[in-house]
Amino acid sequence: MSQEPERPATALRRLVNGYQVTQAIHVAATLGIADLLAGGPRGSDDLASATGAHPDALYRLLRALASIGVVREEADRRFALTDLGDCLRSDAPESLSGWAAFVGDSYHWQAWGALLHSVQTGENAFRHVHGIDPWTLRARHPERSAVFDRAMTSLSRQVVASVLAAYDFGRFGVVVDVAGGNGAFLAAILAHHPAIRGVLFDQPHVVSGSGPILEAAGVTDRCEVVAGSFFDDVPGGGDAYILKAILHDWEDEECVRILHTCRRAMADGAALLVVEQELGPANENPASKFSDLNMLASPGGRERTPEEYAVLFAAAGFRFVGVTGSAVGTAVFEGAAA
Ligand SMILES: C[S@@+](CC[C@H](N)C(=O)[O-])C[C@H]1O[C@@H](n2cnc3c(N)ncnc32)[C@H](O)[C@@H]1O
């Protein structure tokens, strides 16, 4: 049966109501619904008692999620996981449970609620709403930091296989992941290239959560963990310095400061590997264009073109060597000492 094309007004209303989908998935992720359904279908009352949720309200959440394919409603208010919902399991290979938990978290959500302020003034919404930057807020709230770190692990796991297929890290002896979060990206590189040694560097309250991830990847004995700030110093001795999803968090001035710190630590032959999303052509690539808006609203940075990265590199003593794209739109922007 052929389907009527969606009318423009209907399509727009669906897009406008996107916030409802975000929160509904966020709540399901926070309650751990996908993990509870991993063993097979369960009734909504049963799920309510397992999660401490209100039975009728949880049923309404689940039937809404079933209408968009995140779960499937069966007879007698029983629900099953779909392929989509399976990606919300915390142990799914490309789990998005951490990302879903973060995106609807109230403090992040409130920053997006001030997007109009950002667009009218060019100012960062997060600082406007909370009076501080997200890194300071999360350092003061370890539970929020843990949710954010899990979100970063989610995103790293979504892209790392494609980046490994596109870019050969095997030519390096020691790889330093500057601000590598809980270590998911570096752990995958080390697991893929058994001869490489790694250094995971990030803030103290972040690297403290790296143990289980390095251990699960079987790379603990090849990975040194170092705490600090990239505005002060980063570890020396690396053949490659990865900055993944870091420069997009910051405006140009801070990026140059971070790159200067790296340059100081790097030997002349070491490689700078900035791993970020490619913006893509006009009218395409909503993931990167909305990630850019997310940078405006939340940390206060931006996604950049290769030319814009080249300008940052030059300002910090690097020359732009080239860019290696990957199937998922995450690219390696490579620099070397100028
Ligand atoms: C967007 S996350 C990216 C994490 C990781 N590279 C990844 O792709 O999953 C940014 C990281 O920068 C770290 N960060 C923020 N300020 C920092 C600082 N002053 N020194 C070191 N790391 C910092 C955060 O702790 C966080 O892990």
Which tokens belong to 230? 């990239």
**What would the pLDDT profile of 206-244 be if each residue is shown by its tens digit?**
999 999 999 999 999 999 999 999 999 999 999 999 999
Pocket of ligand 1 from Cβ distances under 6 Å: 135, 152, 156, 179-181, 185, 202-203, 206, 229-231, 244-246, 249
Superfamily of domain 106-337: Vaccinia Virus protein VP39 (3.40.50.150)
pLDDT, residue 4, reads 87
pLDDT, residue 3, reads 78
Kindly name the residue from 26, 108, 193, 248 that is annotated as catalytic. 248
Which tokens belong to 281? 């052509």
Distance 69 CA to ligand 1 centre (A): 33
Please answer whether residues 310 and 334 qualify as being in contact, where contact means their C-beta atoms are separated by less than 8 angstroms: no
Confidence of residue 89 (pLDDT cuts 50, 70, 90): very high
pLDDT, residue 66, reads 98
Say if residue 1's pLDDT is above 60.
Answer: no
Atom of ligand 1 nearest to the CA of 249: 1
CATH of 8-101, one of 3.20.20.70, 2.170.150.20, 1.20.1730.10, 1.10.10.10: 1.10.10.10
Known active-site residue 248: yes
Secondary structure of residue 243 in the 3-state scheme:
strand
**What would the pLDDT profile of 33-71 be if each residue is shown by its tens digit?**
999 999 999 999 999 999 999 999 999 999 999 999 999
CATH 1.10.10.10 intervals, the chain: 8-101
CATH 3.40.50.150 intervals, the chain: 106-337
What sign does the CA torsion over 103, 105, 111, 115 have?
positive
Q: Give the separation between CA 263 and CA 318, rounded to whole angstroms.
A: 8
Distance 247 CA to ligand 1 centre (A): 10
Q: What is the mean pLDDT of the chain?
A: 97
Please answer whether residues 228 and 201 qualify as being in contact, where contact means their C-beta atoms are separated by less than 8 angstroms: yes
